[in-house]
Amino acid sequence: MSFALSPFTPMGIRSIQEQRDRWERKRSRTARELVLSEQRYCEQLDLVVTYFVEILKAKGTLRQDIRESIFSSIKSIHLINQTLLTHLELGRFGIGFEEFCTHLQLYNTYVDNIQTAKKVLMVQVKKSKAFRRFKKLQESRPELNQQKLEDLLPLPLQRIQQYKHFLRDLTENTSPDNPEFQQLSKAVKAVSEVTQRIQDNARSHENHLQLRRVQKQLKGRKTRILTPGRWYIREGWLKTVPPKGTEAKPKMFYLFSDILLQAKPCSPIHPMNGDKFACQRIYPLKECTVDKVFGHTKSQGGLISLTFARAKLLLMSDDQGDINDWYRSLCLAIGQLKSKNTVVHRRDELRRKPIRSEPDSQNTPELQQTRGIKRTMQSPPLSGWSQVS
């Protein structure tokens, strides 16, 4: 609430009050946008639940497990967002989001299932004629405004990311003395965790697609690219410099988080593998060191040296920018892999129980006598040398 300032109000008080007025105007604008967008969001959720979830359940067009794979927790999300909307329309932003955040597990479930939902929906559209007709009929309804089911399913993911920005704006323009400040601050943190989950899942899915793409580019199934924990980094043509000074040959290289794969193109006249590559060698990055031989100047091209436990590799490119990018990518991948292994080793060391003898057994007369014999047999240390125990 703002108050009119008289001309005789001191400048310090005037500036503080003006700042509070600016906060209030920004907060009111953000609150209005939040309420209007929440109303629209709930309307869209209602379309999905009413015209797809409920009717499909009543008609029995799809089995229950298939429906759950497509729609996941969207019906429950619709219910909790209707409650949130009621709070927002009454101006109870702090209480509304405090209660809403207790149900964020529903969003986590939906986020983790979204790729499965897209895949199952695509399969059912392709194989089920009845569902294909039903989907087309429902999407033609005027209430859906030409929106496809594929456009409606990602709405909860988009909305949770919008909440993050709305909540930050509300918190930044709410006085710390306001009772809602703490509630909104906690809501920002909780919602940010879900948005991070969305980003992590998206990166994992994109990485999975890249690994599958590379796997399909390689001839045969002997080379296994799809390995848990492996991340795709980059690929490209580089020339390998042979040790005997013969002509450098171009090879295709794939860099992952744990390996560097060298491949050559298959014969273009091969009936099945003409567009694929044959894996020649896999270099583990675990014990690899990388050095830039030249290419750090403004001269054209560059050369990098890779040293492995049982091999050495010289890679060359006529493009200096390209070889510099490869050098940086290799250094980063090797550094991250080594730091990860160091953390694992430290954890293992911390988990080991120290080997200790029983306290009473260390002071037995026999042991004391043995120690005495050892001490008499040891010669005194030479001057200038430290005694090694």
Identify the pLDDT of residue 280: 93
pLDDT digits 0-9 by tens, 90-110: 999 999 999 999 999 999 999
Q: Which residue type occupies 36?
A: L
- Listed range (170-184, 244-258, 271-285, 344-358) with the worst mean pLDDT: 344-358
Higher local confidence (pLDDT), 325 or 267: 325
pLDDT at 28 over 90: yes
Q: Residue 267's closest CA among 276, 259, 258?
A: 276
Domains of the chain from N-terminus onward:
17-213 (1.20.900.10), 232-347 (2.30.29.30)
Q: Which residue has the higher pLDDT, 8 or 188?
A: 188
| 111-167 pLDDT, tens digit each | 999 999 999 999 999 999 999 999 999 999 999 999 999 999 999 999 999 999 999
Q: Sorting pLDDT into bands at 50, 70 and 90, what band is 245?
A: low
Q: Looking at the predicted structure, is the pLDDT value of residue 331 above 80?
A: yes
* Percentage with pLDDT > 70 across the chain: 81
pLDDT tens digits, 170-190: 999 998 989 999 999 999 999
Which pLDDT does position 380 carry in this prediction?
Answer: 42
Least confident interval from 183-197, 200-214, 334-348, 355-369: 355-369
Which is more confidently placed, 17 or 85?
A: 85
Choice among 57-66, 82-91, 263-272, 334-343 with the minimum mean pLDDT: 334-343
Alpha-carbon span 169 to 97, nearest angstrom: 14
Closest listed residue to residue 291, CA positions, set 305, 274, 303? 305
Cβ contacts of 185 within 8 Å, gap of 6 or more? 171
Per-residue model confidence (pLDDT) at position 388: 34
Q: By the 8 A CB rule, do 199 and 192 touch?
A: no
**What confidence score (pLDDT) does residue 329 get?**
96
The pLDDT assigned to 375 comes to 43
- Higher-pLDDT residue of 185, 339: 185
Q: Greater confidence, 53 or 177?
A: 53
Q: How far apart are CA 28 and CA 174, in angstroms?
A: 10
Report the pLDDT averaged over residues 328-339: 92
Ramachandran region, residue 180 (left: φ > 0; alpha: ψ -120 to 50; beta: rest): alpha
The backbone torsions φ and ψ at residue 253, rounded to the nearest 5 degrees and listed phi first, read -120, 140
Question: 315 pairs with which residues across the strands?
Answer: 240, 304
Q: What mean pLDDT comes out for the span 322-331?
A: 94
Lowest mean pLDDT: which of 4-13, 27-36, 98-107, 242-251?
Answer: 4-13
Give pLDDT, residue 285: 94
pLDDT band at residue 267 using 50, 70 and 90 as cut-offs? confident
Q: Judge whether residue 253 has pLDDT over 90.
A: yes
243 vs 240: CA distance, rounded Å: 9
pLDDT band at 339 (very low <50, low <70, confident <90, very high): confident
Q: What is the pLDDT of residue 132?
A: 96
